Amino acid sequence: MMRSLRIRAIVGGVLLSAFVVCLGSITLYLSLDRIARARFDETLANRHARLVVALFDVGPDPEQLAQRLADPAYQQPYSGRYWQLIGPDASVLTSPSMFDFTLPDPVTKATTGPTLDFVTTSAGELRSMAMPVTLDDGKVWQVMLAESIARLEVERGLIRRSLGMTFATLVLGGLIGSILHVATVLRPIERLRQDILRRWENSETLLPRDYPSEVAPLVEDINALISRNREIIERSRRQGADLAHALKTPSAVLRNELESAGLSGPGLVRARDALDRIDAQVKRSLARIRAGNVGSAFQAPTQIFAVFKRLGRLFQGVPGNERFEFQLKVDPTMTVAVDRQDLEEIVGNLLDNAYKWAERRVTARAEQVDAEVIIHIEDDGPGIPEDLRAAALRSGERLDTSRPGSGLGLAIVCDLVDAYGGRVLLEKSETLGGLRVSLFLPRTYRPQAVHQSGSAAGK
Amino acid sequence: MRILIAEDEPALADQISGALRSEGRVVDIAADGENAAHLGATEPYDLVILDLGLPKRDGLSILKEWRAQSLAMPVLILTARDGWSERVDGLDAGADDYMAKPFQMPELLARVRALIRRRTGQINPLFRIGDFSFDTRNARAMRNGLPIELTQQETAVLSYLIHNAGRYVSRTELSEHIYAYDDERDSNTIAVFVARLRKKLGGEIIDSARGKGYAIHSA
């Protein structure tokens, strides 16, 4: 089953043009061949007529006939042109060119008209013409003229070859024609694809009247689908935001009341701890809800460079972060099939960690490997010991409480990356000595993102 | 220093305003987006604490509108939206700081102070002239290490003058920054507050010039 419209149309076009050209060539060949044979026979008949005239003039005398016909081909053995006379007494006179053979006597089918025949002799295949001629003395001579068909075969070969060339040229022309034709016909579909991507990024609407009438209904369907898709995503995001607001604001109120209630000692610590756990759980759950929405939605490509630029501006703008050197090595055109907000959430959490732990340097770079984009974020901080890396990705528990934060960053990153069918790898940074986080993300949209835990801690 | 809190949760708005008032700030509260947009555009606030998920109008669009109108007061976004994209969007829209809920009140107060100091060009949170000092962190005035008792209005006047130290501030401007929206305003009472302050702090701290207003000159 050919899944490509292009291949289907090209193969169809080539087959059709081959069939048509083939049919035409055969018809043409048959008619040209018939013409060639007729012309050959006509020449044969002309020579035969001259032989008959010569015979009437000089009588059955080979030498005088040769003089009279004045054609050296009759003199030269095996020249391909021969005459033969069979007398009433069955005596046979031949041209000198008939060195050692004679033509069979066609007298059995004696008629008044000429008899045409093919004969095989030691000089090869010949075309012969025979006609009984009554001379002035009343004797009947069988006058025969034969010609090698080699010349005819050459001519027929020429016809075949030139027809073959024409055939090949026409089929090639058909192939090129169908490629151009298909490209023209398919252009609206290709444009549609680009338009869909652009539309997704810029929230535009596709105008069905910009497309051919066959594609227009499809455009309307796509419009409806994109709108629906966007609605679903936006609604779930909004629900997430509403839920966040509904949970976090009371939590903030509670925390403030707790701090100002004048509690002290273990009671305050326990209450604070409980609130911290609630907040962390809310944050993690909201992140999971967000990650859960990923697989169902179409993903337009996101420029990695732009995301790093935006977040880099944010982190470098934080007072105190001026001392860090942030190095970004990403091709500005490189894209990844991850929603921009999700990619910013992933990268934001990783940069947040990097800035939290780095001494002075944070680097980010991206490379393309087959169908994946790998983003590396490295710092020159203390890193994470090998035996704790797996736990850092999975549990969402804080490994070190000496720096502020929920300790959920890596776990949230993991949830999101998993949702896109990617994976996260933690390693020691070879260049900076701290932590290196590598994200493996799909380069192009995969309709069914694999929902499985693909993340692992490396060495 | 007059601060607008745009927050739709009354309990939280009360907590924040209480904490700010204890530092000598004057506070207005807007419980929805429309009200916040109007107050921010018409009243001369020294800082705005802006929630993004406000009823009637989204905080981000309000902020963009203010910035488009060249309103330059510091804005601290305080929101439940804690995504990194939203942080960047908030700062790109013109916010000066971004805090996600739930938050620690002391951190919020510290960031408010830092923003006001940055705005008024003061680096040191402790203001000092001779043996007089004013701590912007808790709005305490001291002389020779002994606290000076001040009323809320007196603190507000002193705090505003100190944050604008080196410049004459008119009575009208003072009254705009020391009274909340619902307060009864009377620029004549400013003279009364200044007179009381001079009595408590000593006459040399607050300078006055006819037609220009009052000023505290930095040491």
Q: Count Cβ neighbours within 10 Å for each residue of B45-79 and write b for 16 or more, e otherwise.
A: bbbbbbbbbbeebebbebbebbeeeebebbbbbbb
CB contact under 8 A, B85 and A340: yes
> Hey, is the C-beta of B53 within 8 angstroms of any chain A C-beta?
yes
Residues A39-91 pLDDT 10s: 999 999 999 999 999 988 888 888 888 888 888 888 888 888 999 998 888 88
pLDDT grade for A452, boundaries at 50, 70 and 90: very low
CB contact under 8 A, A314 and B105: no
Chain B nearest C-alpha distance from A254 (Å)? 9
CB contact under 8 A, A347 and B85: no
CB contact under 8 A, A251 and B15: no
* One fold for A5-155 and A299-459: no
Contacts across the A-B interface (CB distance below 8 Å): 78
pLDDT at res. A454: 43
Residues B82-122 pLDDT 10s: 889 999 999 999 999 999 888 889 999 999 998 988 888 77
A192-196, B54-58, B146-150: range with lowest mean pLDDT: A192-196
pLDDT at res. A270: 86
> Hey, is the C-beta of B110 within 8 angstroms of any chain A C-beta?
no
CB contact under 8 A, A248 and B114: no
Mean pLDDT for the stretch of residues A362-377 = 92
CATH code, residues A299-459 = 3.30.565.10
How large is the ipTM?
Answer: 0.76
Residues of B in contact with A319 (CB under 8 A): 114
Nearest to B101 among A248, A257, A349 (CB): A248
Domain range annotation of chain A: 5-155, 203-297, 299-459
A 334-393 residues with CB below 8 A of B? 340-341, 344-345, 347-349, 352
- Cβ atoms of B96 and B115 within 8 Å: the answer is yes
Residues B152-201 pLDDT 10s: 888 888 988 988 888 899 988 888 888 888 777 777 788 888 888 888 88
Q: Which fold has domain A5-155?
A: Beta-Lactamase (3.30.450)
Nearest to A314 among B79, B91, B101 (CB): B91
Q: Tell me the Ramachandran region of residue B132: left when phi exceeds 0, alpha when psi lies from -120 to 50, beta otherwise.
A: beta
Nearest to B9 among A249, A275, A348 (CB): A249
A 275-294 residues with CB below 8 A of B? 275, 279, 283
- Cβ atoms of A181 and A6 within 8 Å: the answer is no
Tokens 């069988």, residue located: A142
pLDDT at A204 over 80: no
pLDDT grade for A291, boundaries at 50, 70 and 90: confident
Task: Verify cis geometry, omega within 30 degrees of 0, for the bond prior to A96.
Answer: no
| Residue A30: burial class (beta carbons within 10 Å; 0-12, 13-18, 19+) | exposed
Residue of chain A whose alpha carbon sits nearest to that of B105:
A256
> Hey, is the C-beta of B102 within 8 angstroms of any chain A C-beta?
yes
Q: Which of B101, B103, B115 has the most A C-beta neighbours within 10 Å, making it the best mutation to test the interface with A?
A: B101
Return the higher-pLDDT residue of A319 and A357: A357
Please state the pTM of the whole predicted model: 0.63
Element (H, E) at A159: helix A150-202
pLDDT grade for A408, boundaries at 50, 70 and 90: confident
Spatial distance between the Cα atoms of A149 and A23, rounded to a whole number of angstroms: 27
CB contact under 8 A, B88 and A251: no
Neighbouring C-alpha atoms within 13 Å toward the C-beta of A306: 12
- Cβ atoms of A222 and A211 within 8 Å: the answer is no
- Cβ atoms of A127 and A147 within 8 Å: the answer is yes
pLDDT at A181 over 60: yes
